[in-house]
Amino acid sequence: MKEIALKDLDQNCYVETLENGLDIILVPYKDKKNYFMTYATRYGSDINCFTPTGEKKMCQFPNGIAHFLEHKMFEQENGDDPFTFFSKSGTGVNASTSFDSTQYICYGTKEFEENLKFLIKIVNEPYFTDENVLKEKGIIKEEIKMYDDIPECVLENKLRQAIYHVSPRRYDIGGTVEDVDKITKEDLYKCYKTFYQPNNMFIIIVGNFDYKKALKIIKDELSNIKSSDKSIKIKDYKEPKTVYKKEQELSINIKIPKIGLGYKMSKDNFAIKDEVELDLYLQMIVTILFGSSSLFREKIRNKHLMTSFYYNWETIKDYKTLLIFAETENPDLLINEVDQELKNIDIAYEDFERMKKVWIANEVKMIDFVDNTVNNIYDDMIRYHKLVDNRVELIRQMNKKTLDNLISDLKFNNFSKIILLPKKIIAK
């Protein structure tokens, strides 16, 4: 096992890749009482067409099947309830599916070794039957209907549908009720056997634990599990550079209008080719422009133009997309303010350097929280397939010339706009 220093953070971690390809990252803390672990696969809702392990033909699977599979992994053949098992030691357990990954987590202060073994057991012993799959369909369909009634979820789904032509990113992570009805236990086993292989997975543990004992448990439980020798063949969707739909207005059951803006940009536009570096600079630009302490926020607050405002960059294979969401009584005025801000980006050297210092301070501060450290490493492993152990150094090395060059590369003319308006009440 290799020891690696998380540079400038006064913390070491231990990494190893087993012969079967499983990546292990262990970060033991000396001054904590709690621990946090995640067992994850690089399989999310973006993957809906692939060649199953042991087969030759590429198959289309229902949207939402990765999320459905996550739910069913808590079903044990012997009837054991994982939630009951973990709760006996006051341990939390959960799972989540995103567009590009699925993770199973547990966190607590007691019974570390027993909980690690049981978490590994859950993820490595699938049990699907026609009966338990049918039962889960009802649960998940209710979950989908619940999210369909949440305006923020509607807005995000509609915006992605407007941005992307063919990428599975245009579909909700859970799929639709119709998608769920199509899922079979045979589908679930095919997805599991293809993507829940050690060479497509990793384990991260952070907090109060003995890393040597943790490594031994993982090896004892997983070293005999083999990975397929063949790489996974996944359909490569050729997403066009244009957005699918420029704008759309919808009336739903809300009191205050909401807007969603999506600016789609080809990675070919950017001189920066290193993904980590590119993400840092892109995030720096929008943080200075739209962050909570930005002049833009102050201006639109003073004009009473928003009640909420948030943003993030989204990545699919060939594109970076800036997503902006807001709640506002004046959609057109706020959209115009955002448009003017993006057309006239001019970041002062002093603001850039100040934000770098803020970021570095945040990195130093947040390493003290075990869940935050797990989440950061998890994001690195999914986005970049590696641990970024020098983020503070990378931030420190960011320079104004590169920032300005990237700003000149940004094009905001390829965008989608969604406006959600309150339903009109018709007097009887």
Cα gap 333→340, rounded to integer Å: 11
First to last CA, the chain: 74
Element (H, E) at 49: strand 49-50
191: Cβ–Cβ under 8 A, 6 or more apart, which residues? 43, 52, 61, 65, 66, 69
Cα gap 36→204, rounded to integer Å: 8
- Single out the residue of 174, 152, 147, 171 nearest to residue 160, CA to CA: 171
Cα gap 67→173, rounded to integer Å: 7
Distance between alpha carbon 4 and the CA centroid of its chain, in Å? Answer: 25
Determine the 3-state secondary structure of 342 from DSSP: helix
Q: 378 with 40: CB under 8 angstroms?
A: yes
Residue 152 annotated among the catalytic residues of the structure: no
The amino acid at 257 = P
The amino acid at 180 = V
Which of 19, 70, 125, 298 is the catalytic position?
A: 70
Cα gap 202→97, rounded to integer Å: 15
Active site amino acids:
70
